[in-house]
Chain A
Amino acid sequence: MYYLGIDMGSTSTKVIVLNENKEIHYKKVVPTGWNCLDTANGILEELKNNGIERDDFKCVATGYGRISVPYMDKTITEISCHGKGACYLFNEKNFTVIDIGGQDTKVIEIENGAVKNFNMNDKCSAGTGKFLEIMANTLGVDINSLCELARSSKNHISISSMCTVFAESEVVSLIGRGTSKEDIAYGVVDSITNKVRGQMGKITGTNNVVRLTGGLCEIPFILDSLSEKLGTEVKSDPLGRYAGALGASLFACNIK
């Protein structure tokens, strides 16, 4: 039997398959695209090509598209899945997980391996991956280069608009004023990590072990900026973006 975890986020869909020994047998990231159903069926096809038929697995779906996976056995929210996946990934039991996703940013407090408290940003996209993506587009670079540019900024500026739409016009006017790309990039990253710090403030964890998951977790400057803001070293893992899918696959192991 295999255990399939699908984390269908707003931007990308993460897939993890565990074998009987709870080892990662298969993993993949695909863009979610416009049609969640097509994406889900594509994954099923892909698994078939790898020799895994529908009857060979149990499946838990999570993420905002979780209900659009027609062959799932169960849905569980991304909060619980990220918590579970992060415990496994980081081998920790008492810590705080920050997940910066495409459409929302979550802060999850874990105590004794279980979710104790959590916090999600509101409707708007400030402080999420989407914000970074839009700003990178405005600057004509990709997200990774934006973060590297930020590192070499000489004059630290801050972007004051909280709202993505206003922040975008702020960035445009900074470009117009001749502010260097590096400095603007710094302002963009700074705005995100500040927002995350604000969200952290609402979670009053008792310890300062902090781990980052989600699509941005492999970007060194994001980790550095967060560590600086939170006053503790924020670590991640190369599999950090799979935390939700991993948690889902671990939950799938419990399905009878």
Chain B
Amino acid sequence: MSKEQELSEIMDEFANAKKNASIFVKNASENGDIVIGSFCQYAPMEIINAPGFYNVLLCGFNYDPPIPLAETELPANLCPLIKSSYGNILGKTCPFAFYSDIIVGETTCDGKKKMYEMLGKLKDMHVIHLPNVPDKERSLSSWQAELELFKDALEKRFNVTITDEDLRKSIHTLNIERSQTARMYELGKYDPPAMTGLQMRSVLTAEYFMLDKKNKIEKTERMLQIMEENWKEGKGPYKKDEHPVRILVSGAGLDGVIDKTIKTIEDLGAAIVCYEGCCGILNMRRPIDESDPDPMHAIADKYLEVPCAVMSPNTRRFEQFMDTVKEWNVDGVISITVHACDPFDIESKKLEDICEENEVPFLHVRTDYAPGDEGQLRTRIEAFIEMLENR
């Protein structure tokens, strides 16, 4: 098989990960394997994977049918991710929720917290109390205690024992995945980039749906290798002498608006070189400390560092933001937030201020899963790219 063919097969596997995962999960569940549904970067995957349980992402990314259905119970003026997730479970259109033995949530934003309370009536839930202040002195011990409670709950409910050894193994595996994601972002550093932002997105999504981790890690390794080689041979996604405008995308809830935002940005000739936000580069750079004698402490310590806007103050995000802009040689920042997401919408203004101070062009677009704003979004993004190209 030629390298091109191999790469295209790997990329197809990533792109179809979600589709294929439903069959995988169905079989696993029928085999007696335990499936845990989750919504967020704060769900401690290491703990879930340690006893061999599967973790699936339940975030809804589609508008119809879940959102109109969810709006029969939830306010219309709520973040689409929350409505879509709830609607998919309410209407039984999410196979992953269907096969989940329990669902784990964290007390992140208000909309999610309240939605979990309603979800508790439809499915078994375990809600982890996430502190809002990411200061380790004030929050780490209570956060670790919450994670211990979660571990105990899993042990009791499924009659298993989760040993430190199990935890260490899953920490190790997921650290490999983290470092691979960080390496993937490195490909965006090249000039021209060795990978497109749309490709990165599909690998990020696959992270949640390629449940055979060994396979996922092997495929990602090959992908990174081939892309690197291709770039050296001048066969990357861009021609050698092409220098597309370099964009850093920031925000949350993006998976439901990929076509109108991410894809539009790249269709218009710009290159997304890196992402910033909960699954962005910042969170991937530091692995979980494998030398920590207490693996639960190591996990808690790392997860408190997720740079999410539900934290107050979310200092880590802002401290490192300009480093990312400089390292990736970014020409402009596009912050994408979804309708009614107050935490990220408000933080977007802070990013704008930082950009202004450093003379980095900045665009904030608000959108929704609902269709209808494609034209306006496109105009805004296109004008921003024209502006960058003329600089």
Decide: A77 near B383, CB < 8 A? Known: A104-B376, A120-B376, A122-B366: yes
Check: B159 CB closer than 8 A to any chain A CB: no
Specify which chain A residues have a CB less than 8 angstroms from the CB of B376 in the assembled complex.
104, 120, 122-123
Question: A204 contacts B356, CB within 8 Å?
Answer: yes
A11 to B366, CA, bound (A): 25
Question: A79 contacts B379, CB within 8 Å?
Answer: yes
Question: A120 contacts B380, CB within 8 Å?
Answer: yes
Check: B343 CB closer than 8 A to any chain A CB: no
Check: B390 CB closer than 8 A to any chain A CB: yes
Tell me the chain B residues, 338-391 only, with Cβ under 8 Å from chain A: 356, 361, 366, 372-373, 375-376, 379-380, 382-384, 386-387, 390-391
Check: A213 CB closer than 8 A to any chain B CB: no
Specify which chain B residues have a CB less than 8 angstroms from the CB of A76 in the assembled complex.
386
Question: B373 contacts A80, CB within 8 Å?
Answer: no
Check: A88 CB closer than 8 A to any chain B CB: no
Check: A255 CB closer than 8 A to any chain B CB: no
Check: A114 CB closer than 8 A to any chain B CB: yes
Tell me the chain A residues, 68-105 only, with Cβ under 8 Å from chain B: 76-80, 104
Task: Say what secondary structure dominates the interface of chain B.
Answer: helix
Check: A194 CB closer than 8 A to any chain B CB: no
Question: A64 contacts B386, CB within 8 Å?
Answer: no
Interface range on chain B (Cβ under 8 Å from partner): 10 to 19
Specify which chain A residues have a CB less than 8 angstroms from the CB of B387 in the assembled complex.
79-80, 114-116, 118
Question: B379 contacts A64, CB within 8 Å?
Answer: yes
Check: A199 CB closer than 8 A to any chain B CB: no
Question: B383 contacts A79, CB within 8 Å?
Answer: yes
A80 to B391, CA, bound (A): 12
A186 to B31, CA, bound (A): 71
Question: B379 contacts A117, CB within 8 Å?
Answer: no
A64 to B376, CA, bound (A): 8
For chain A, the count of residues having a C-beta within 8 Å of the partner chain is 16
Report the nearest B residue to A108, measured CB to CB.
B383
A178 shortest CB reach to chain B, Å: 34
Specify which chain A residues have a CB less than 8 angstroms from the CB of B383 in the assembled complex.
77-80, 115, 118
Question: A120 contacts B390, CB within 8 Å?
Answer: no
Report the nearest A residue to B379, measured CB to CB.
A77
Specify which chain A residues have a CB less than 8 angstroms from the CB of B361 in the assembled complex.
117
Most chain B CB within a 10 A radius of its CB, from A78, A79, A114, A116? A79
Specify which chain B residues have a CB less than 8 angstroms from the CB of A120 in the assembled complex.
376, 379-380
Report the nearest A residue to B359, measured CB to CB.
A116
Tell me the chain A residues, 119-135 only, with Cβ under 8 Å from chain B: 120, 122-123
B361 shortest CB reach to chain A, Å: 7
Question: B386 contacts A123, CB within 8 Å?
Answer: no
Report the nearest B residue to A117, measured CB to CB.
B361
B23 shortest CB reach to chain A, Å: 38
A243 shortest CB reach to chain B, Å: 15
Report the nearest B residue to A64, measured CB to CB.
B375
Specify which chain B residues have a CB less than 8 angstroms from the CB of A80 in the assembled complex.
383, 386-387, 390
Specify which chain B residues have a CB less than 8 angstroms from the CB of A79 in the assembled complex.
379-380, 383, 386-387
A152 shortest CB reach to chain B, Å: 36
Specify which chain A residues have a CB less than 8 angstroms from the CB of B382 in the assembled complex.
77
Most chain B CB within a 10 A radius of its CB, from A77, A120, A204? A77
Specify which chain A residues have a CB less than 8 angstroms from the CB of B384 in the assembled complex.
118
A123 to B356, CA, bound (A): 25
In order of increasing CB-CB distance, the 6 nearest A-B pairs are A79-B383, A77-B383, A80-B386, A115-B387, A77-B382, A123-B373
Residues of B within 8 A of A (CB): 356, 361, 366, 372-373, 375-376, 379-380, 382-384, 386-387, 390-391
27 contacts between A and B (CB under 8 A): A64-B375, A76-B386, A77-B379, A77-B383, A77-B386, A78-B379, A79-B379, A79-B380, A79-B383, A79-B386, A79-B387, A80-B383, A80-B386, A80-B390, A104-B376, A114-B387, A114-B390, A114-B391, A115-B383, A115-B390, A116-B387, A118-B383, A118-B384, A118-B387, A120-B380, A122-B376, A204-B356
Residues of A within 8 A of B (CB): 64, 76-80, 104, 114-118, 120, 122-123, 204
